[in-house]
Amino acid sequence: MTKLALIRHGQSAWNLENRFTGWWDADLTAQGEAEAKASGLLLAATGADFRYAFTSVQTRAIRTLWLALTEMKRAWIPVEKDWHLNERHYGGLTGLDKAETAAKHGEEQVHVWRRSYDIPPPPLEVGSTWDLSTDPRYRGINIPDTESLKTTLDRVLPYFQERIAPKLKAGNDVLIAAHGNSLRALVKHLFHVPDETITGLEIPTGNPLLIELDAALKPISVKYLDAARAQKLPALP
């Protein structure tokens, strides 16, 4: 059996401010740093032999991974950063306060944008404050102007199959530090979660989800390592 650990980054500044973050590079809060360190201690206590780690190119996920690996005494393992593991792009909602957005557009409409599987928010305007077209980490990348969970899965899954799955199939324990929606997309794939229920699956910040996989990468067990902060688990396929 191989083990796959998924960590949603610790609390970010925009999590705390209740703003739509998406691809914007909000950093960790002090609480987020503490959550990342606690994740590392929880993972170390499992005795898993993590040999590879993957993360996005967003600071909050990268720092979460490094803080966790330091606590695990695994800072030496290879780490691959890739934009395919980025958070879902929230388009024109980026930077907006969630409560104010609901008051302006109505809670029902905002719920559709946030929680439907295949309906994205309005696109981000070119030249917006949150336009990342000049960010050097995305040079040569066709940056989306908005994404649904479906289109997030469309980029996460090929990357997982090409870069991460071979490491797992070779018997290596793997750690992924990423984001609520990129991890939700991966959970949907691994556990065959239906379209109509995946958006209701919550992944808490800084609480590792440990999955045991068989040789075909079918989950055979799953648990949150911090039971006190656990959310409902996906059903085994």
Active centre residues (catalytic): 9, 87
For residue 28, give the 3-state DSSP assignment: strand
Give start and end residues of each alpha helix (H) in the chain: 13-16, 30-46, 59-72, 98-105, 107-115, 149-159, 165-169, 180-191, 195-198
Strands 209-213 and 2-8, sheet pairing: antiparallel
Give start and end residues of each alpha helix (H) in 27-162: 30-46, 59-72, 98-105, 107-115, 149-159
Q: What share of the chain is helix, strand, coil (3-state, %, to 5)?
A: 45, 15, 40
> Cα dist. 86→80, 122, 137, 176, 217 in Å?
13, 19, 12, 12, 23
